[in-house]
A and B are shown apart, each in its own frame.
Chain A
Amino acid sequence: MVILDPAHGGADSGAHSEAAEEGTVEKDLVLSIALAMRRELERQGARVVLTRQTDTDVSINDRAAVANGIGGGFFVSLHVGSRGPANTAETYSFGTPHGGAPAAFVPRPVGIDGVPWEDAQAVYVIPSRRFAELLQVELAQKLPRSPDVPQFAAVRQLRVVGHPAVAIELSSVAEENPESLQKTAGPLAGALLRAIAAYRQTAEGRP
Chain B
Amino acid sequence: MSRALRITVLLLVLAVLAGLLELPALRLQVLRFERQEQNEEEARREVIRPGPEGQEQPREKVAIYWLSADDPGQLAAVETPLAMGTEPVERARAALESLITGAPTPEQRPLPAETTLLAFYLLPDETAVADFSDALSHRLPSGIATEQLALDAITRTLHAAVPQVRRLRILIDGREAETLAGHVDVSGAFDLTLMPPSGPAAAPAAPSKEQKPAGKAEAPAEPKPKSR
Query: Which residues from chain A sit less than 8 Å from chain B, CB to CB?
Result: 1, 7-8, 12, 14-16, 26, 47, 60, 71-72, 79-84, 90, 92, 94-116, 119-127, 129, 151-157, 159, 162, 164, 167, 169, 172, 203
| Pair B216/A112 contact, Cβ less than 8 Å | yes
Known: A8-B182, A103-B190, A167-B183. 6 other contacts (CB 8 A): A104-B191, A104-B194, A105-B188, A106-B191, A114-B217, A119-B207
Whether B228 and A96, one on each chain, are in contact in the complex, defined by CB atoms closer than 8 angstroms, is no
Q: In the assembly, what is the distance between CA of A30 and CA of B140, in Å?
A: 20
Query: Which residues of the other chain, B, contact A153 by a CB distance below 8 angstroms?
Result: 144-145, 147-148, 183-184
B73: nearest chain-A partner, CB-CB: A84
Name B's A-contacting residues (CB within 8 A).
65, 72-75, 141-149, 151-153, 155-156, 159, 167-168, 178-179, 182-192, 194-196, 200-202, 204-213, 215-228
What chain A residues lie within 8 Å of B153 (beta carbons)?
A: 101
Chain A positions within 8 Å of B215 at CB level: 112
The A-B contact count (CB < 8 A) is: 205
Q: Which of B75, B186, B220, B228 contacts A100 (CB 8 A)?
A: B75
What is the CB-to-nearest-CB distance from A28 to chain B, in angstroms, rounded to a whole number?
14
Chain A residues with CB under 8 A of B224: 71-72, 162
Tell me the bound Cα distance from A119 to B220 in angstroms. 7
Residues of A within 8 A of B159 (CB): 101, 103
Closest chain A CB from B176 CB (angstroms): 9
Residue of B nearest to A101 (CB): B152
Whether B201 pairs with A102 at a CB distance below 8 angstroms is yes
A-B contact pairs, 29 of them (CB 8 A): A26-B142, A79-B143, A80-B143, A81-B141, A81-B142, A82-B141, A83-B143, A94-B207, A95-B204, A95-B207, A96-B201, A97-B151, A97-B201, A100-B152, A103-B152, A104-B190, A105-B185, A106-B207, A106-B208, A114-B217, A115-B217, A116-B217, A122-B209, A123-B220, A129-B204, A154-B207, A156-B184, A162-B220, A164-B226
